[in-house]
């Protein structure tokens, strides 16, 4: 109990989980271990919601959840725009889904080798896998929906709306690709990215000096560029996949 109290009330006030994550990222391994221990019930709950059964610490899926929670602590930044626990829950669910899919592929492969007298068992196993597959699809739909809602809330911090971005996105493919490339440059350069998120305005003059795109084009596509930077710097798996499709089309 005492170590936990020290964690929560160091410096005379309660530190947030997000502040503690920053300390972990600076190398505080003891704090990292304490947080993982403290949030084991949260991890078990997130993993169990995917597996459709109660998960114990001895289960492989729980170990995957622990690794995913640790990954969330190490990757979290304020620019994610959500609480660390919300971010961690998404990471945990994704990693467990990946594990289940991998296991299902292996089981399906092995089931093809069953003899005829074991066909009934094989069929039952395949049906169970299909049921789990449908469950996973539901969870992925929930994650995708939450991802879009979170993206909308981040846009609002820039006084933008999802409708605006859709309406004002570049109509021509070349223009979209140029805007995405400008956004990629911003996302990869800490100083420019920090100015954007702090002032909630695109630092056009600074961007213009470093990209081969005219100021007029940058200004015209300002809202779209900001939206893409938000996607690139956030934990948006599905939206990033969509961007890859735009760039590869």
Tell me which residue has tokens 């911090």.
Answer: 157
Residue corresponding to tokens 């990292």: 32
- Is the domain of 86 the same as that of 144? yes
Q: Which candidate, 188, 178, 183, places its Cα nearest to that of 202?
A: 183
Domain identity same for 171 and 89 = no
**Whether residue 179 is found in the same domain as residue 205:** yes
Last-in-domain residue among 157, 186, 219: 157
Tell me, yes or no, whether 1 lies in a domain.
no
Compute, in degrees rounded to 10, the torsion defined by CA atoms 69, 70, 72, 78.
130
pLDDT (0 to 100) of residue 11:
46
Helix locations, the chain, DSSP H: 2-9, 17-25, 29-38, 40-51, 60-75, 84-111, 119-157, 162-168, 173-188, 190-199, 204-208, 215-220, 222-233, 237-248
Query: Is residue 17, in this structure, part of any structural domain at all?
Result: no
**213 Cβ contact partners less than 8 Å away, ≥ 6 residues apart:** 178, 181, 182
Domain membership flag for residue 230: yes
Please tell me whether residues 122 and 201 are part of one structural domain.
no
Whether 10 is in a domain gets the answer: no
Same domain, 114 and 99: yes
Across 75-105, b (16+ Cβ under 10 Å) vs e yields: ebbebbbbebbebbbbbbbbbbbebbeeebe
Same domain, 120 and 206: no
Whether 31 maps to a domain, the answer reads no
**Domain count of the fold of the chain:** 2
Last residue in a domain, options 111, 126, 157: 157
Instruction: Please check whether residue 25 lies inside any domain of the structure.
Output: no
Question: Within this chain, do residues 243 and 167 fall inside the same structural domain, yes or no?
Answer: yes
Domain carrying residue 234: 162-248
Q: Quick one: 184 and 143 in the same domain?
A: no
**Looking at residue 221, what is its pLDDT?**
93
Query: Is there a single domain that holds both residue 222 and residue 129?
Result: no
Q: Are residues 232 and 186 in the same domain?
A: yes
- 195 and 152 co-located in one domain: no
pLDDT by 10s per residue, the chain, length 249: 445 555 444 544 568 888 899 999 999 999 999 999 999 999 999 999 888 788 888 989 999 999 999 999 998 887 776 788 888 998 998 898 888 878 766 555 444 444 444 555 444 554 555 566 777 778 888 888 888 888 888 999 999 998 888 888 888 888 888 899 999 999 999 999 999 998 999 999 989 888 888 899 999 999 999 999 999 988 887 888 777 766 555
Q: How high is the pLDDT of residue 171?
A: 85
Domain boundary among 130, 157, 184: 157
The answer on 172 and 98 residing in a single domain is no
In a domain, 61, yes or no: yes
Query: Tokens in use for 223?
Result: 């809202």
């Amino acid at each position: 109990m005492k170590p936990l109290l020290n964690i929560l009330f160091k410096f005379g006030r309660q530190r947030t989980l997000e502040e503690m994550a920053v300390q972990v990222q600076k190398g505080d391994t003891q704090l990292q271990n304490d947080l993982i221990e403290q949030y084991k019930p949260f991890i078990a709950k997130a993993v169990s919601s995917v597996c459709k059964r109660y998960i114990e610490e001895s289960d492989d899926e729980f170990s995957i959840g622990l690794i995913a929670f640790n990954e969330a602590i190490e990757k979290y930044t304020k620019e994610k725009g959500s609480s660390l626990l919300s971010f961690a829950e998404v990471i945990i669910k994704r990693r467990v889904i990946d594990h289940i899919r991998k296991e299902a592929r292996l089981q399906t492969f092995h089931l093809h080798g069953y003899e005829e007298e074991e066909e009934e068992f094989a069929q039952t196993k395949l049906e169970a896998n299909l049921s789990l597959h449908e469950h996973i699809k539901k969870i992925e739909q929930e994650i995708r929906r939450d991802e879009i809602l979170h993206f909308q809330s981040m846009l609002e911090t820039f006084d933008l709306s999802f409708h605006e971005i859709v309406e004002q996105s570049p109509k021509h493919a070349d223009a979209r690709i140029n805007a995405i490339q400008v956004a990629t440059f911003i996302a990869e350069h800490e100083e420019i990215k920090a100015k954007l998120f702090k002032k909630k305005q695109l630092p056009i003059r600074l961007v213009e000096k470093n990209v081969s795109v005219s100021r007029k084009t940058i200004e015209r596509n300002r809202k779209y560029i900001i939206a893409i930077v938000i996607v690139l710097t956030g934990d948006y798996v599905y939206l990033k996949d969509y961007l890859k499709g735009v760039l590869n089309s």
